[in-house]
A and B are shown apart, each in its own frame.
Chain A
Amino acid sequence: MAVHRRVRTAFTTVTAVAIVAVLLFPLYWMVNASFQPPAGLLETPPRWLPIGGTLEGYRAALDGQGQALLNSLAIAAGTVALTLLLSVPAAYALSRFRVRGAGVVLFALLLVQMVPGIVMANSLYAVMNQAGLLNTHLALILADSTVAVPFAVLILRAFMVTIPKELGEAAMVDGAGAARVLWSVILPVSRNAMITAALFAFLFAWADFLFAISLNTDDSVMPVTVGIYRFIGAHTADWNSVMATGVIASIPAAVLLVAAQRYVAAGVTGGALKD
């Protein structure tokens, strides 16, 4: 019986590993290609392992896309800052006070998440043009925040409603104002929810392609997603450097998965299923 069970467990484990291997194969293939010399990518049968690999692709990626990576970083950091600045006080108000119209705001936050990005791109182009912001980092920060802010407010509010009312009230009795309560009572306990909101704001902005390609034609402002897109158009043969750029552009996701896995999980399930 015990042997039978052990065989079964072994079988299940092998199956599980095989499933993961199949689903992650495209990622392996990206990493593999990123280390191949250009000629190695044009062989039949393909080189399954990056043996005799080269860092040429990475050198080309950093030479060609270094500025774009810095742009992505600046845009993502700006989006995180703007998102937290707007959504923390709003989530606080929505979770603690009886504000008139709060229901309307919550409904609006749900609804605007359904608005197709292309509609936002189309109309934000007109808005940014009027404001003279086309081809600036700020335009992309503002545009990317339209994805991050509704999500952040909802996830922060969902957390803040679970904080016991007494926690703030005690401070209020001692004469602290609402801003003081937010700063010294609510923020420290909401740390994890804020990390989740910030992480996702970063990921949204880092991954944005639609706004970046619509609101910007200036190479000096272009983020790495557009960089990769242009790269494929321009040099289809340089797949190793394209893939190296892809690997570099995936680093934030990989870091998050290793360093902040539980916040990621909170973002996936929290937003979708909890109120």
Chain B
Amino acid sequence: MLARVGFLAPLVVYLAVFFGYPLLANQSMALREYTAASFYTGEAPFVGAANYAAVLADPVFGTALSNTALFTVGSLVFQFAIGLALAVFFQRHVPLNGLLRSLLLVPWLLPLVVSGTVWRWIFDQEYGVLNQTLLGLGLIDQGVPWLSSTSMALASVTVANIWVGIPFNMVILYGGLQSIPAHLYEAAALDGAGPWQRFRHVTWPLLRPVSAVVLMLGLVYTLKQFDVIMVLTQGGPANATQTLTTWAHALSFGELDFGLGAAVGNLLIVIALVFALVYLRGLRTQPGAPGSGRRG
């Protein structure tokens, strides 16, 4: 018995040291004036809820919250819709089907920093291929400041993130589609259902459990998306693309006020936790299962 526990013990210790302790430390940091000096002097005066009060009173908080919501919802809706459309399309018997589908996975496997960098070059106001093409077609008179205008930046960053997320949605939804029995489509076709009706009354309802898993995983990952925004805009211009994640990073590692950063991080945990619970509850009612995928 002791030997058996020995197999699991390292993991349990690991979870305690690298998740349990840091998460508790984060709670403590959020209640203290924890600055760069604290790391040298070891002193971090207890300030109660002052960090939370400061964060909630900061005008950036509202901006970051609404940016987070817009970025997340915008990303999810389009990633899912495009991913589903592609999954449905690739169900047809296309020559090279398997090869083409695996090629579509490439964007998902690249480091996000690389994807972000590519999009930064595409969005470049003067020499970016997007503006050059639009100018060439006569659709615009001068280059659009995709990343440097406060009104465009959030949409641009979201577009890049949608591109990153399409493969994941497509692959999972494709798997879900494959598990729908073909005879249901045949029966529907015999009843005179057209393509749209077959999608509406067969595909959509039977795909619901898989859709729920994809959307909830996507939500948790999009909520904490950091790399793409940092590479494209660093949360700017003028906080136009600041999300709770990038803001927490700026407070901790830019302003070196780890107490404030921890407070914002904890708010993010609360939001993620709410959705995590919805997700886990959803799991219990369907034959899906644990979270995975990637992206931190």
Contact = CB atoms under 8 A, between A and B. Distances in A.
* Size category, A interface: 35 or more
Contact of B288 (A125, A142, A273): A273
A275 B289 contact: yes
Contact of B113 (A12, A93, A120, A229): A229
A126 B272 contact: no
B31 interface: no
B22 interface: yes
A163 interface: no
Contacts, number: 309
Given A16-B100, A90-B11, A118-B245, A123 B262 contact: yes
B290 A271 contact: yes
Interface in B75-102: 86, 89-90, 92-97, 100, 102
A153 interface: yes
A257 B105 CA distance: 8
B249 to A, nearest CB: 5
B119 interface: yes
A118 B249 CA distance: 7
A113 to B, nearest CB: 5
Interface residues of B, number: 100
B12 interface: yes
Interface of B: 3-8, 10-12, 14-15, 18-19, 21-23, 25-26, 29, 34, 39, 86, 89-90, 92-97, 100, 102-115, 117-122, 126-127, 129, 132, 135-136, 163, 166, 168, 171-172, 175-176, 210, 213-214, 217, 220, 223-224, 226-227, 230-231, 245, 248-249, 252-253, 258, 261-262, 265-266, 268-269, 272-273, 275-276, 280, 288-294, 296
Given A42-B126, A116-B245, 14 more contacts: A16-B90, A113-B292, A123-B23, A154-B290, A209-B230, A213-B253, A228-B113, A228-B117, A228-B231, A243-B117, A256-B109, A268-B171, A269-B171, A272-B289
